[in-house]
Structure 1
């Protein structure tokens, strides 16, 4: 039994093996047959005696055949037919394509994209068609392309995102018309403006959040969120804020400052952003030892050492280093030493928080500027951009000078972007400087209303163009009319006269008053001034001018001062003269970003021709500093002036004398100074001399920064005195009599300008002085 069972089992295995071998043979046969069929299909070829193109109306048949790449009589495979189909469809000219062999004829059928009949943008309320239409590439009477339309939709979305509307969507839709035409409509869903609700900082120890927010270009949404657009969230603006925040810290000695991260988070309602800057301030460093050195025999190190303005103990700033490098390299050029470069070598003294700087003068590579290529300036002339470079073609190449030129081009304000990049020239010792700019509007036209507590309401019109005819010239015209007053002005300025670093200016002004500003008489004053202004050094400028002046005093009431009545009988007078002014400014531009001074001295010499001759001298001195880590601003202002007759032939008139209008707070217009108390209306007379000193402080009030409100206190001390004619009655006191006033201020940064509300109280005054306790003005920026 056991042997029979084994035999049966062996027979079964043999039978199963035979079935498997038969199945494998059948499978192999099918595989071979299939492979042969595929190879035959792949190897199939066509030969067409004729190629017909159907359906094209605008596109030439030859153009389609060039895309197909097939000629009559050629042997063509199925793969080549598919390639021809893909090439024709990929041209973007056709909505559909068919390639069909019909015996000995190849038929290519196409359906062309329609022509755009009209383009419209719907749903756009915030950004008008005038802004969006120039951005898109699709044009009427051109072939419609879905890819181009999609790209145009994205461009419109990008424009809305730059305006803070991150949720904006744009859908391109076509409406079919007759004759294979379509209307292209961009349906816009603007979404809501995404504002910056809060800007905060983490890791800042020495500067408060309030102080740092003032540095940034982005602002928190505040009271004027519908007018102020810097509170909208824009990603590129955040990138700019990173740079200005870094510059702020580095310029104050924080050499190790870093921005670790910037987090931008949506609010829960997804209608605002919360922006958080995480910073690492590091330590504040000052200068230690400052020296100049060189291994070059032609370098007189002592001369360069004396040219360094930095002193030990001053706070470190990269701007100081750059200015020093520029000064030393200019000195080398003046000594006819080319290719001299200054390499600042810094040694840290972490224990004493000092940086020892050695300005090493070394020989740089012999590389020359081959040429300067300028692109993107459709309006601005090339020479306006070229004069920002100190180097010209053929001069030694200096990377620092190129960077400075790029900064000067950006500072012009004519361009929204300006990129200056060097690249290799035609030989290893040549460099080509590429300048790529994008222009922006430079003109403004304004209509407005004004209010002053002295002259009431008024209307204004002004026009200005900062890049007139693309020449870099400034042109301005303004008109202001109020209660009994009218002022008209025209100005022109050429910043580079004859291509030199000399500015030419021409100004005309004409003003009239008719019993205005607390006076009972009328005046007419006209001025024409023309002259030149040029730099003396990096902080000082000088101007020289010639002027013509017309004055008239009339309609003086019979009950007014005898002095004014006698001055009115002289009628209209005119004079011509020469003048000059000297200005020294380190405020906002000096070595210390938190402190600086402004000094200005000017004199006018009238009498070259005309009816009157005099010397008029004026002085302005401003000193400002920030304390308590920049939270509080302290400012001192001193002004003075003197009017002296040259030949004594004529007395001064009220239209030429000084007043303290706008120079001393707490008093009415013509509210202090010499006054004829014998006259019925007690008209003020002004004075030949004035002096005033003002001391003020600005500080935060603890209100949210986005309100733009901060406070201040001030004390003013001054006087105006001195007359040529005192009427001989003894009732005119023209002696020096000091006045003083103290007050508080409220500053409000509004879209209309920085407003200032003053409440003041006179501490010392004369009985006949006229006080003004409350005053609303535009805050002065020096």
Structure 2
């Protein structure tokens, strides 16, 4: 409609309306006049001076009537998109003076937009997408684009019969402005599904295989879950290319789609017909390289991996030269780019196709090696530059390597300070003559601090928790008032404070880590301090008995260093920890002594390798594994205690006799005054990207707690408790709580805990959103594991199995939250009926 009006306008400018005045003024075509005055009339709220200025007509200037100046003025007013009607009149003339009248009618403004036919949750986004905000000018273009946008949007979702009507109604009130209400009615109709996909002309490849090649266009299948059978034109066009690629992979280089059509069976289903012409099958002939000097033919052939006489595969040839789907793929392009040859070009050319045998030349233009000129980072408003720059693998003056750029993106994502989905390396200022290039890493800051504030009922009373975690802290600014925005931040350090309390226990903890000790090398220093107080329950008063308590105080210091061999994904960490367990009149089944203490001085050494990519919350590839050993000193070698005699004495005592029970406590106090043990653990996670962002995760875990001296025995601390959500709150004896969904918490281990456990897990994940404000993904899982008291009972195949589904939500301010529904297929220890369904709430951990 607007285009039509403008067409009329062009014609209108050639004939300017003449109003015969009282003096019967003469009006001659193309006569020159001095513009004496301009009068603004009609229904407009704009200031006359503003309109005249905007039209670029000037009082006192010479104009030709009709002429280009008036034509341009009218066009200028139309382009403003402010008016629904524009008329220019020659009001009168007096000699060589002309008086003009511009009559305008303002476009109506939108008062209110109402959308019907969709869920309430969709309405605001539709208004935002179409700029249906109050006060916007209602043009024909606005009505048309709104209608087209909504129609196409729902067609893309499979609603091919979507009909959208847009109407307006004038608002009558005391306001002088012209205003309208808009009603948008959406009739999506039924979602149209593909009943069948029928191929004609195919003899070499079956319909089934061709349909399989179409990744996003599927016919109805009741057992398929991940891909729906809705028809979307854009997906169909892409999948037609995939059909041809399926032929090219089999050597049918000349295959093509002759025609395709869509037949509507009813309002709910369609049938797609695809006519193909297969052509003949080809084979690879001789493949020669031309222009290569950096790498020999033999080296390039080892990457290409295509032999003379093999079936022609155009898709594989393209991937071997440059695989666009994998930035770190093993192909010839990456081979050159990882050696600095950014400006290299590689083009395969068919030089002969006689007898269906294709001889090829792969023509290489190597160019100069490229070096980085400027390396910069933008977007780090909170994180200090040195924290970002120390993670960069690309340096000014350094040789360009594509693998260094990819690794830099991974390292920046693993920091956790930036949105990993929006990390962007921008290459610019390419200079082929000097062999230089600039690179700028664009980052988007995300909240890296978290707060945990929760309350609940458990253990006989109300439990409150307050936790603060600052993951981009700057301890050097702690005494600078101006740095509190709201906390000193930007140096990449971690600081965590946590308080949990009820009337029966109190837990306080503090931890701090510096990832780059000294600022020059990736050596991480970490330290933690904790204190827990537990009070025994008084059955008479039903309150906590403050005179009967169990206290634990602990401190640890650790250091971790990034290694260079075998590669720099490896990290060696070491830590020394001390815990003091103090019992006062605390007689329970947990220990055989109620008054006394135990000390735990241990050394932990761990070797880890983590090359997961790129987002630590939702890795889409790579693996992570760790093997660790936690050791105490072998006190029994030098403390001159006869543990064999103590064991024999203890075995001879009667635990039901009061005097013997007191002696057992004295013996155990001596056995456990300094804990003696060793603990070995292994854990491995592997992430495989299947399709799009669908990720398959597989995991394996193993743990073993042993004793140097069998007469002294395995300590009652540090044991493994298997089952449940894996949350280890209120664990006073140093136990390790191992998650296995589908069973109650800690239900798959004996009362005293296991000394051995193993666990296997398979998980399928798919994201709902990976935005900066929230990352949400769904998952399904299969798990199996078991806990054992000693190696005599160990059987890695006697496992407790479970399956289920869940969802995870990560918000920077609150960490990871989630819920899982797991079904245990096996019975709990001592029972005969399978466990069944369990619900688990996940707080602050990731599986």
Matches within 5 A, 1:481-560: 534=562, 540-542=569-571, 544=573, 546=575, 560=589
CA 1:489–1:400: 2 relative to 1, 3 Å: same
8 Å contact from structure 1 (residues 460, 478) kept in 2 = yes
Question: Which residue is equivalent to 1:89?
Answer: 78
For the residue of structure 2 that corresponds to 1:188, the secondary structure is strand
Contact 1:196 1:275 in 2 (8 A): no
- Identify unmatched segments of 5+ residues in structure 2: 1-26, 200-204, 311-315, 457-462, 474-488, 538-548, 634-672, 690-695, 724-737, 765-777, 809-817
Match of 1:685 in 2: 752
Match of 1:582 among 596, 608, 611: 608
- Of residues 720, 737, 741, the one that matches 1:658 is 720
Return the match for 1:620 from 670, 683, 696. 683
For 2:279 and 2:846, the matched residues in 1 are separated by 33
SS at match of 1:181: coil
Deviation at residue 76 of structure 1 after TM alignment: 1.4
Contact 1:325/1:342, CA 8 A, preserved across alignment: no
1:656 deviation in Å?
1.4
Q: Which residue is equivalent to 1:175?
A: 171
Of 808, 826, 839, 1:760 maps to 826
Match of 1:61 in 2: 49
Q: Given the superposition, is the C-alpha separation of residues 206 and 343 from structure 1 closer, same or farther in structure 2, using an over 3 Å criterion?
A: farther
How much does 1:264 deviate? 8.2
Q: Secondary structure at the match of 1:542?
A: strand
Choose from 93, 100, 105 the match for 1:107: 100
Deviation at 1:61, TM superposition (A): 1.6
Mapping for residues 165-314 of structure 1, pairs under 5 Å: 167=163, 171=167, 175-183=171-179, 185-192=181-188, 238=235, 268-270=266-268, 296=293
Q: TM-score by structure 1 length?
A: 0.55
Is 1:741 equivalent to 2:737 in the alignment?
no
Cα 1:78–1:169 change in 2 (3 A) is same
**Equivalent position of 2:788 in the other structure:** 719
Greater C-alpha Rg: 1
Task: Check conservation: 2:428, 2:439, Cα contact below 8 A.
Answer: yes
Conserved 8 A contact 1:603-1:617: yes
Contact 1:205/1:281 (CA < 8 Å) preserved in 2?
A: no
1:25-174 alignment runs, 5 A limit: 42-54=29-41, 57-59=45-47, 61=49, 63-69=51-57, 71-72=59-60, 74-79=62-67, 80-99=69-88, 100-103=90-93, 104-111=97-104, 113=106, 116=109, 119-123=112-116, 125-127=119-121, 131-132=125-126, 134-135=128-129, 137=131, 144=137, 146=139, 149-150=142-143, 153=146, 157=150, 161=154, 164=157, 167=163, 171=167
Partner of 2:670: none
- Alignment partners' CA distance in 1, 2:795 and 2:625: 24
Q: Using a 3 Å threshold, how does the CA distance of structure 1 residues 530 and 464 change in structure 2: closer, same or farther? A: same
1:365 aligns with 2:368: yes
- The one of 584, 587, 592 equivalent to 1:565 is 592
CA deviation profile, 1:408-452 (whole Å, cap 9, x unmatched): 9999993777776756658865656688899999999999999xx
What is the count of residue pairs matched by the alignment? 661
Q: For each residue in 1:171-216, what CA deviation from the matched residue of structure 2 results, as whole angstroms up to 9, or x when unmatched?
A: 5655354343355544333444865756987788799899989x86
- Distance change (3 Å), C-alpha of 1:671 and 1:130: closer
Partners in 1 of 2:628 and 2:371 — Cα distance? Answer: 44
- CA 515–584 in structure 1, closer or farther in 2 if over 3 Å, else same: farther
- In structure 2, the residue corresponding to 1:686 is in which secondary structure? coil
1:64 alignment partner, SS class: helix
Residue matched to 2:11? none
Pairing partner for 2:329 from 322, 327, 346: 322
Q: Is the 8 A contact 2:192 2:267 kept in 1?
A: no
Q: TM-score, normalised by structure 2?
A: 0.52
Is 1:414 aligned with 2:419? yes
Please say if residues 194 and 230 of structure 2, whose CA atoms lie closer than 8 Å, have aligned partners that are also in contact: no
How much does 1:757 deviate? 2.7
Q: Quick check: 2:337–2:400 contact (8 Å CA) kept in 1? A: no
Secondary structure, counterpart of 1:49 in structure 2: strand
1:437-487 deviation line (CA, Å, top 9, x unaligned): 99999999999999xxxxxxx9999999999999999999999999x9999
Counterpart Cα distance in 2 of 1:254 and 1:467:
53
Distance in structure 1 (CA, Å) of the matches to 2:407 and 2:183: 45
Paired position in structure 2 for 1:10: none
Provide the residue aligned with 2:834 in structure 1: 773
Does structure 2 conserve the Cα–Cα contact (< 8 Å) formed by 1:504 and 1:533? no
Q: Report if aligned partners of 2:700, 2:760 keep a CA contact under 8 Å in 1.
A: yes
> Match of 2:485?
none
Secondary structure of the 1:85 match is helix
**Whole-angstrom distance in 1 between the partners of 2:536 and 2:212:** 46
1:656 counterpart SS class: coil
Call closer, same or farther: CA 1:640–1:183 in 2, change over 3 Å.
Answer: same
Post-superposition CA distance 1:27-63 (Å, at most 9, x none)? xxxxxxxxxxxxx964455444333444665345255
Kept in 2: contact 1:173–1:184 (CA 8 A): yes
1:262 and 1:384 map into 2 onto residues whose CA distance is 56
Alpha-carbon contact 1:366-1:396 (below 8 Å) kept: yes
CA distance in 1, matches of 2:46, 2:530: 64
Structure 1 residue 773: Cα displacement: 2.6
Deviations 1:573-611 (A, max 9, x none): 67675542324779999xxxx99987531234568xx97
Deviation digits for residues 136-163 of structure 1 (CA, Å, limit 9, x no counterpart) = 55665x6735267447736973896499
The structural deviation recorded for 1:98 is 2.9
Partner-residue secondary structure (3-state), 1:322: coil
* CA distances 1:385-419 after superposition (whole Å, capped 9, x unpaired): 98997545665566787788789999999377777
Contact 1:122 1:185 in 2 (8 A): no
Task: Measure the CA separation in 1 of the matches of 2:551 and 2:198.
Answer: 60
Kindly state the Cα deviation for residue 106 of structure 1 after the two structures are TM-superposed.
1.8
Structure 1 unaligned spans of 5+:
1-39, 451-457, 627-632, 676-683, 699-707, 723-734, 763-767
Name the CA distance, whole Å, in 2 between partners of 1:489 and 1:277. 67
Deviations 1:286-308 (A, max 9, x none): x9x999999758x8999x89x99
Indicate the SS of the match to 1:50: strand
